[in-house]
Amino acid sequence: MSMEYVITGPGQPVRLSVALPASKSISNRILILNALSGNFYETENLSDSDDTRVMIEALNSGGADFNIKAAGTAMRFLTAFLANCEGEWTITGTERMRNRPIQPLVDALTALGARIEYIEKRGFPPLRIFGRPLPGGEVSLPGNISSQYISALLMIAPTMKNGLAIRLEGEVISAPYIHLTVGLMEQYGVKVDWKGDALNIPHQAYRPIPFRVESDWSAASYWYTVAALSEGAEIELPGLSKSSMQGDSMVAKLFSQLGVTTTHTPSGVKLSRTGRRCKRFVYNFVDVPDLAQTLAVACALLGVPFLFSGLQSLRIKETDRVDALMRELRKLGYVLKNSRNHTLKWSGERCEPAEGHAIATYEDHRMAMAFAPAALAGAVTIADPSVVTKSYPRFWKEMERAGFTIKLHVPL
């Protein structure tokens, strides 16, 4: 049975310390690095998200059939990991996952000696993997594909007898996620030589280390919207680092244009609202695509026209996020336009809001969390609110702690 949350904003400024989840991006990389290094240390503060849970279950199960549900990182990382291990496995996911492309990674692994079969539709999961230690060598990949493919190959590269040389062709998108992978690999004692479009990783051994996962900057972004919309807001976000390797730490700089000041403290960051905002917001999201939904909703609600570019990877996420943003913001009365060159634009055009219509979330956690702060501008209904467990299981509890009223509604 489907359900909805009807959310209304608090009648006073939002002032609290928020419990953020641990970084999902870091957690899922650490799980692979732990497996490759034979790590005997316990990792502290692993994410409790759905995506990390399925990774843990797969790596600990000892089984041959894996259902990673909607976890994109798990699908990409485990495909490469299993292809390089002795054994035979099948890996599948949700209907949406079975329509998210994986051919660039499979082609690269095949070129390196892997044997992988498509069980249903060519180019997409589910997969049958006949694993064996890969010799390594050289492979070329387009730079404008998901960084998860590149990260998946990078992490297994040092274990290959001949190492691995990766050449990235053309524009590289989501580069901070590749930097994150390389940075974590280096903490585990592996040297990566990245010069221009070439990544070279010689054969070498990972070193087991103790590790504590930092809080998630992507999850913090929704609280930046809350701070921007709540006059007098003061929000503390513990566990965030100024020196973070997470690309989404850029959210602090971006929201400074929308009237939110970020102060770094010994325990994390503190957000406060200045109310000063730019007249027009223009940004290329090629490096931080997961922030696009948050910023689109925030700009619209603040009345700030915007032009977003670099959105090509949003088409192959949990949903087509560009189309989803256009449809759902229209329900709130905002008319967005997009073009074939991966831009999304709002010039200030309004339409009549669609009264009584819930914001659809398309099995996409970021749709639910990006739109939830809209309750500060008037009651908003979010369909299928449980999708937030993919990355931020406590999100709705934290919203209630912040003073938001959340009522369950079951549509007829």
As a whole number of angstroms, the distance between CA 183 and CA 244 comes to 11
Helix (H) or strand (E) holding 320: none
Q: Are 209 and 41 spatial neighbours (Cβ–Cβ below 8 Å)?
A: yes
Q: Are 393 and 48 spatial neighbours (Cβ–Cβ below 8 Å)?
A: yes
Q: Is 352 exposed, middle or buried (0-12, 13-18, 19+ CB in 10 A)?
A: exposed
CA–CA distances in Å: residue 12 to residues 196, 375, 378, 407: 51, 13, 14, 19
CA 93 to chain centre: 17
As a whole number of angstroms, the distance between CA 321 and CA 290 comes to 10
In a 3-state reduction of DSSP, which class is residue 371? helix
Closest CA to 293 of 237, 227, 248, 238: 248
As a whole number of angstroms, the distance between CA 115 and CA 86 comes to 11
Please write down the HEC assignment for all residues of 243-300: CCCCHHHHHHHHHHCCCEEEEECCCEEEEEECCCCCCCEEEECCCCHHHHHHHHHHHH
Q: Is 216 a catalytic residue?
A: no
Catalytic residue among 290, 320, 323, 364: 290
Q: Are 88 and 130 spatial neighbours (Cβ–Cβ below 8 Å)?
A: yes
Closest CA to 216 of 48, 54, 406: 48
User: What order of strands is seen across the sheet that includes strand 115-118?
Assistant: 65-67, 87-92, 127-131, 115-118
The catalytic residue positions are 290
